[in-house]
Amino acid sequence: MRKVHPRGRTRLVAGLAVAGIALAGLTACSGDDEGPSDTSSNGGASSAEGVDDGTELTMWTRAPLEAQATRLVEAYNASHDNQVKLEIVPNDDMESKVGGAAANEELPDLLAGDVVRVPYWVDNGLFADITDQIDSLPFKDDISGGHIDAGTVDGAMHTLPFVQDISVMVWNKELYKEAGLDPEAGPTTLAEFQEQAQAVADLKKDGVSGTYYGGNCGGCLVFTWFPTIWASGEEVVSEDGTQSLLNSDAAKAVYETYAGLNESGAVGAGSKEETGATWVAPFQGGNIGVMPYPQTVVQAAIDAGIDVGVGPIPGVDGGNSTFLGGDAMGISKDSDHVDQAWNFLAWMLSDDTQLDVVAKAGDVVSRNSLLDNEYTKDDPAAMVAAEAIPNGRTPVAPYFAEAFNASGSPWVTLVRNATFERTDTVDADNDAITAILSQ
């Protein structure tokens, strides 16, 4: 289990203040603090199901996940006495809204956030400890672990999977046919990825490139490149989240692969400037041969008329992994309705909800035994998810966003130096990431 950095609480609160988020007076629970009391008549959580007694609950989630959140809330409200009032928060406003509410003890009952940001929020005490409740679930060991790990400190669990997004490898079958490649066989090693991307590029077809990546998008890069490193048996950050390990042999092999594709002209124009805003558009437009990609937008490419091949992201010499992204959810430190909020969380991960609400809508379920189900049996992307998720990972580091996702982060600098500029500064750039992680 993740352990808090020795200076974690003090330094993390200071970090939020620097970001313009006042946390003065924050005295909430953390992994080793006593959780908030439930002022309802039912006291603490009394069962694995929680309490359904007509309480109105509040929930916040980010705008990119509005569709998934709305489906879940509408299904819950239609079948329960408790009623959830959902508030959709613009993505760019989430951090400041949560920080201000935490300072004023005004957080909602149920709080969802980007899984890579959750460790920071947990270390600042924004969530209640729900270890006992999670342990009471009969299917606890079947839950996809990344979103639980992200909210775990010193063995105390605070979050569960809310919406799960994963990374996969996609290729354009028509372009593969034209390039003389097997359209049903995507890359199974890093070298095969390079060879197949190059083969498409060698078509010299107007507007078509072998591959594409978000060369100025830290989030895109961690989501799609970290799985190759994990699949190769290596880590990206230390267990306590304070050290970057992105100068490993596998990591350097990834950088070298993309540098080579850049030099050969196989990478699509615009990759160097790509901030993520149009990251998936070139593939959806039929102009890219092969690239790692978000599973949640594969269907959009299919709807755009692309004959899409889908597979797991391979390691350097084989194996596969995926980034377990999306949002995790927990009960906030300010909730006076812990039992009732738990009732929503337990329902959300139940068999019926995961199948008839989540899988039916084409989203990725958060229970490993349910990945292969009646709704996904004819969906190639879903079948790949079933193969990849058990090998998937979520990196856990309180300062992850600052080190990796932020504009101009040291991670983005490392990638740009290694793949576009070839400055041979991977070790030094990796140290710069560690400097942020170890604050």
Residues 424 and 297 in one domain: yes
Whether 263 maps to a domain, the answer reads yes
Whether 1 maps to a domain, the answer reads no
User: Regarding beta strands 110-114 and 167-172, do their DSSP bridges make them parallel or antiparallel, or are they unpaired?
Assistant: unpaired
Q: How far apart are CA 97 and CA 300, in angstroms?
A: 31
Q: How far apart are CA 391 and CA 248, in angstroms?
A: 20
Whether 377 maps to a domain, the answer reads no
Q: What per-residue confidence (pLDDT) applies to 189?
A: 98
Whether 378 maps to a domain, the answer reads no
Q: What per-residue confidence (pLDDT) applies to 27?
A: 28
SS3 string, 361-392, reads HCCECCEHHHCCCCCCCCCHHHHHHHHHHHHC
Residues 66 and 23 in one domain: yes
210 CB contacts (<8 Å, ≥6 apart)? Answer: 196, 197, 198, 199, 200, 201, 202, 261, 266, 267, 268, 288, 289, 290
Residues 302 and 333 in one domain: no
Residues 158 and 216 in one domain: no
Whether 391 maps to a domain, the answer reads no
Place of tokens 């901030």: 275
Q: What per-residue confidence (pLDDT) applies to 148?
A: 94
Residues 229 and 246 in one domain: yes
Residues 288 and 410 in one domain: yes
Structure tokens at 308: 């899409």
Place of tokens 């409200």: 77
Residues 401 and 412 in one domain: yes
Residues 127 and 183 in one domain: no
Whether 270 maps to a domain, the answer reads yes
Whether 376 maps to a domain, the answer reads no
Q: What per-residue confidence (pLDDT) applies to 125?
A: 95
Whether 381 maps to a domain, the answer reads no
Residues 37 and 153 in one domain: yes
Angle at 168 between CA 167 and CA 174, to 5 degrees: 140
Q: What per-residue confidence (pLDDT) applies to 47?
A: 65
DSSP letters, 143-192, are B-SHHHHHTEETTEE--EEEEEE-EEEEEEHHHHHHTT--TT---SSHHH
DSSP 8-state symbol, 418: I
Asked if residue 15 lies in contact with residue 99, where contact means CB atoms within 8 angstroms, the answer is no
End-to-end CA separation in angstroms for the chain: 20
Q: What is the edge-to-edge ordering of all strands in the sheet holding 290-294?
A: 290-294, 167-172, 308-311
Question: Please, what are the averages of pLDDT over each run of 10 residues along the chain (439 residues)?
Answer: 36 34 30 38 56 97 91 98 97 91 97 92 95 95 91 94 93 98 97 98 97 96 97 96 97 98 97 94 97 89 94 96 93 97 98 95 89 83 80 89 93 98 97 97
Q: What per-residue confidence (pLDDT) applies to 332?
A: 97
Residues 307 and 351 in one domain: no
The three-state secondary structure class of 55 is coil
CATH of the domain at 148: 3.40.190.10
Give the amino acid at 12: L
Domain ranges, residue 364: 8-165+326-370
Asked if residue 245 lies in contact with residue 336, where contact means CB atoms within 8 angstroms, the answer is no
Q: How far apart are CA 63 and CA 65, in angstroms?
A: 5
Asked if residue 396 lies in contact with residue 150, where contact means CB atoms within 8 angstroms, the answer is yes
Burial 67-85 (b: 16+ CB within 10 A, else e): ebbebbbebbbeebebebe
Structure tokens at 376: 């996904």
Asked if residue 107 lies in contact with residue 126, where contact means CB atoms within 8 angstroms, the answer is yes
Asked if residue 308 lies in contact with residue 171, where contact means CB atoms within 8 angstroms, the answer is yes
Residues 201 and 319 in one domain: yes
Residues 80 and 184 in one domain: no
pTM of the complete model: 0.79
For the chain, the domain total comes to: 2
